[in-house]
Chain A
Amino acid sequence: MSGFFSKDRITAGHEYNRWLVPPAALAIHLCIGQAYAFSVFNDPLTRIVGVSESASADWSLSTVGWIFSIAIVFLGLSAAVFGAWVERVGPRMTMFTSACCFGGGFLVSALGVWTHQLWLVYLGYGVLGGIGLGLGYISPVGTLIRWFPDRRGMATGMAIMGFGGGALIGAPLSVNLMELFSTESSVGVAPTFITMGLIYFASMCLGAFVVRVPAADWRPSGWAPPAQSNRMVSSNNVHIDTALKTPQFWLLWVILCFNVTAGIGVLGQASVMIQETFSGAQITAAAAGGFVALLSIFNMVGRFFWASTSDYIGRRPTYFIFFGLGAALYILIPIVGSGLGSLLLFVAAFSIILTMYGGGFATIPAYLADLFGTRYVGGIHGRLLTAWAVAGVLGPVLVNYIREFQINAGVEPANAYNVTMFIMAGLLIIGFICNFLVKPVDSKYHMKEEEESQAAAGKAAKA
């Protein structure tokens, strides 16, 4: 069985078409992206016993909210801890393991719902599913970069766009399935979990079986590695453990963390924010939901657009745009929102910000490959994702607590977000400075020729 998953077994022959790899990666990311839509289960999970309304024996919303948080924590942890393993065993084994964890997580959670044991749901979707998320997220990154050395940004942008798009599929799919399975005595969550677990497992396995790695000497037809004209694109490799000792890794860590912090807080609070900012215009709950949906679409589109753009203008200039334009837009939002009262400009500003939020996620693997080489980029990317876990806490805390503090201090709800917007702009300015400080990795960190050969031999032996 291990032979079927080995790297040797999945090294592509000459007939293999590299354009099969992006949909294989999308098959994974479109599934695990469902995590962003998990909130559609929150309300039904608080009515498992009472069905039509929450009963005293039912779980509270705050305890149910922990399921998603645990999953995101385990996403970050597993991506960081298993990064080296992912590089060693290759994408098929990683994708299959991810499919087992993510699909299996749904099944364990269904058992938890049936037996009304919340710890089983934490263990299922939170721990198992979270590990599936982390492994699935990083599994295709290094492979895509190796297949598309001529379009690193576009290739990883396509896959990571899938993570944004997964919520757009997961939300209506969950709602439709719960409607289908609900009865007078059940909200239909458990059979929905089972169905989704099986669908996602099958789809992710398809991606795992289709994916291949290129032969060591493979390169796209008609393409030759460019002469060393761009100092920011290295042809040398840095070992996964050595990368952590470089200032470049930590500068990129801060860059990712602050870019995500600025976007994630807005995403989580968007519905309330637009209703409070335009309280005089009577924004309905449905309209606020439409705003959240619009942001999700821009988040997804930005992933492909900005990552592809970075192939032409470079990674560093792309992040200068994210931080420069992002900071300017955050400063403008209080003016166009509560100041001018322009809903259109308010929505437009946040839509652009969300493209750059998604773009930050999608462009970072190519930035890492440019600086640290392609050999360990998947594992290094996994370790960098700890910045996401930190931002996942920092962003919502900044938005929610500062709003609460402002309202308690007597500030009008329409103006309660102004200080937060300026803080977000400040974070982006720090990100801009960090991006400015990113320089090529010192040659003392590069792998020596014998280390490269040893690593290649070690991989072949283990495969």
Chain B
Amino acid sequence: MTAEDQAEQNPGGEAQSSTSWVLVIAFWAYVTIPLAWGVYETLGGVTALFTG
């Protein structure tokens, strides 16, 4: 199957521009940064389990 055939069969396929990838990275950062902060804060409590 050629690329043209594939594009015809899959009009909404993954032909994303670089702009869309910038958006993807920005939105992922938006959700992962708070999550990383939450994990960091929680890990601070976990150390107490092993240090008493």
Contact = CB atoms under 8 A, between A and B. Distances in A.
B41 A168 contact: yes
A65 interface: no
B15 to A, nearest CB: 6
A282 to B, nearest CB: 8
B14 A220 contact: yes
Given A162-B31, A217-B12, A221-B13, A17 B45 contact: no
B38 to A, nearest CB: 3
Contacts of A77: none
Interface in B1-52: 6, 10-17, 20-21, 23-24, 27-28, 30-31, 34-35, 37-39, 41-43, 45-52
Contact of A221 (B15, B37, B46): B15
A30 B33 CA distance: 11
A30 B34 contact: yes
A219 B10 CA distance: 6
B49 A291 contact: yes
A287 B52 CA distance: 5
Contacts of A27: 27, 30-31
B35 A15 contact: no
A165 B35 contact: yes
A23 B20 CA distance: 14
B20 A217 contact: no
B6 A221 contact: yes
Contacts, number: 119
B42 A17 contact: no
A339 interface: no
A15 B20 contact: yes
A4 B1 CA distance: 38
B10 A15 contact: no
A17 B38 contact: no
A291 B42 CA distance: 10
A289 B45 contact: yes
Given A16-B20, A168-B39, A168-B41, A290 B10 contact: no
A215 B31 contact: no
Contacts of A20: 20, 23-24, 27
A19 B48 contact: no
B17 A15 contact: yes
Interface in A274-311: 282, 284, 286-291, 293-294, 296-297
A30 B45 CA distance: 20
A218 B13 contact: yes
A114 to B, nearest CB: 28
Contacts of B39: 165, 168, 297
B28 to A, nearest CB: 5
A359 to B, nearest CB: 18
Contacts of A165: 35, 38-39
Contacts of B43: 293, 297
Contact of B49 (A214, A222, A294): A294
A78 B29 CA distance: 31
A169 B38 contact: yes
A327 to B, nearest CB: 26
22 contacts: A12-B12, A13-B12, A17-B20, A20-B23, A23-B30, A24-B27, A30-B31, A162-B31, A171-B41, A173-B38, A214-B12, A215-B12, A218-B11, A219-B10, A219-B13, A221-B6, A287-B52, A288-B49, A293-B43, A294-B46, A297-B43, A297-B46
Interface of A: 12-20, 23-24, 26-27, 30, 162, 165, 168-173, 206, 210, 214-215, 217-222, 282, 284, 286-291, 293-294, 296-297, 347
Interface of B: 6, 10-17, 20-21, 23-24, 27-28, 30-31, 34-35, 37-39, 41-43, 45-52
Given A168-B42, A169-B34, A288-B49, 13 more contacts: A14-B11, A17-B21, A18-B14, A24-B27, A30-B35, A162-B31, A170-B38, A172-B37, A172-B42, A286-B48, A287-B48, A287-B50, A297-B46
